[in-house]
Chain A
Amino acid sequence: MTTPIPRVMVPGSVTRNEVFTVKAIIQHQMETGLRTDSAGKTIPRKIINQFVCRYGELEVFRADLHEAVSANPFLEFQLLATENGRLEFSWREDGGATYSLFHDIVVT
């Protein structure tokens, strides 16, 4: 299995109180645990079960994901530009691994 690669699309600068769109995607199989291999054995579940976006230190958006979310889970959501700060995106995988990205946003 390949290492999940996360990517985000965020505007570099936004005006205060403006709504901006974030697109976040991670390359991931999202193995449901419902499939069997050629020997008839169940392939264990391994999905990204949570995505969190923090702005500064505050959690501003969270998604709990289940098996029915497609492979390479994609999320598009909207945030309010409040202040200059760091956006942190993290994806949590079954088994406890997390994958994170950071993005500094300039609010004018």
Chain B
Amino acid sequence: MSLTRRHMLASTMATVACAVALLAPKHTRGADEAEDFLFRLTGRKATPSNRLRLMMPAEFSTGYTVPMSISVDSPMTEADHVKSVRIFAPKNPLVEVAQFHFVPGRSLPRVSTRVRLAAPQHVVALAEMSDGNLLMATAWVAVATNGCL
């Protein structure tokens, strides 16, 4: 293969494209992957929303007990409430983590627990609202050890 100007240009463009993709903030890449992941899993489109918050440490020493909190902004009335929140760990051998169910006027959509993570990954939260909308949020967690052994 001769090294022409055209080849050089093409390869430079490809390199630049890769670099741009890698430079995109980690959380936006996580959101895109999570949207695809949720679509494959549920067959429905979830909207990234900051009404749903998934709080986890960005780095944690053990994968066995990683703290996790979720909360959703919602009036929790009969007409407008959160039905459930599901948690997924896409890099775990079994991706489902938990599902929390709430009752309007009786419980608030806020939960804390501890989970196992097999590898550094974007943990995904999916909230199902009473109007049928699906909201999603992700949190990047780098665990130092595999918690699923």
Contact = CB atoms under 8 A, between A and B. Distances in A.
A35 B105 CA distance: 42
Contact of B96 (A32, A35, A68, A82): A68
Interface centre among A19, A55, A61, A75, by most chain B C-beta atoms within 10 angstroms, is A61
A16 to B, nearest CB: 13
B148 A76 contact: no
Interface centre among A35, A59, A68, A74, by most chain B C-beta atoms within 10 angstroms, is A68
Interface string B85-117: 000010011101111111101111011111111
B64 A80 contact: no
Given A63-B100, A64-B98, A74 B114 contact: yes
B65 interface: yes
A77 B94 contact: no
Nearest to B86: A64
Contact of A79 (B96, B101, B107, B117): B107
Contacts of A64: 98-101
A9 to B, nearest CB: 13
A71 interface: yes
B107 A76 contact: no
Interface string A62-76: 111111111101111
A69 B94 contact: no
A92 B103 CA distance: 20
A74 B101 contact: no
Contacts of B107: 60-61, 77-80
Given A64-B101, A68-B98, A68-B148, 19 more contacts: A32-B94, A34-B94, A34-B148, A35-B149, A58-B103, A61-B100, A61-B101, A62-B100, A63-B113, A64-B98, A64-B99, A67-B94, A67-B96, A74-B112, A77-B107, A78-B108, A80-B105, A80-B106, A80-B108
20 contacts: A34-B94, A35-B149, A61-B100, A61-B102, A63-B98, A63-B113, A64-B99, A66-B94, A66-B97, A68-B96, A68-B97, A69-B114, A70-B115, A73-B114, A77-B110, A77-B112, A78-B107, A79-B107, A80-B107, A82-B105
Interface of B: 64-66, 89, 92-94, 96-103, 105-108, 110-117, 147-149
